[in-house]
Amino acid sequence: MARISKTNDTRNTSGLLMGKVALVTGGSRGIGRAIAMKLAELGADVAICGRASEKLRETADALQGLTKKVFWQTADVTRADEVGEFVSATETKLGPIGILVNNAGIGLFGPAHEKSEEEWDRIMNTNLKSLFLVSRAVVPSMIRQGEGDIINISSLAGRNTFAGGGLYCASKWGVQGLSGCMAEDLRDHGIRVSVICPGSVATEFSGRGVKDAGKALQPEDVAHAVEAVVTQRQGSFMSEIHVRPLRKS
């Protein structure tokens, strides 16, 4: 089988998303930033949100070197009112949203019986409720368009358990279940719902660190999986992608 050179790969994918509007939650740093950059490289206009305005502004400046239109806004994706305002502003500034990446997430680790109710609510609201709120706000427009891609960033922790992972695993198992049901609810509308499950990624992600950062996944590895999803032929979709480091740490 012939190998595809990096030069040819860049030529064939650049501009594939021209005319598309992509929204990435938690898009100011780490995995979210890498995904936003990749979508911009592919030609999409990109909207990002997060809580840190300085980081958002820095990422938006970088995105403007890759695509024509960029929009950013601070937003708490666990609050329905702020989600609605951000989605509405994105559609006003950029147009109907065709790609949604639910990436916002946090990590809280330790034995479940030692965690507080506040910690439970915080991780469930950020990792799971936000996915519901943002998707709910975006889906009506996608239905009117008759197409769209929703990519939910989960984790291999949504498929496996480990000591100290009670709250985090519960939130990500919830992402798996919600994503699967959304896929069935929306496929007849031409909307594809995919879930990406990375292993440990070398980012500023709070909580449980990686054993060996040199062997961990990079944010760009997850962005590459998103690229595969959004460039897939329209008559099919990738329902779930697992991304693992080549070498175990």
Q: List active site positions.
A: 168
Give buried/exposed letters for 219-236 (b at 16+ CB in 10 A, else e): bebbbebbbebbeeeeee
d(CA 143, CA 68): 26
Q: Residue 235 CA to chain centroid, in angstroms?
A: 22
- Farthest-apart Cα atoms in the chain, separation: 55
Strands (E) in 76-204, as ranges, are 99-102, 148-153, 191-198
The answer to whether the CB of 48 falls within 8 A of the CB of 60 is yes
**Surface-to-core class of residue 75, CB atoms within 10 Å of its CB (0-12 exposed, 13-18 middle, 19+ buried):** buried
β-bridge partners, 196: 153, 241
d(CA 129, CA 111): 22
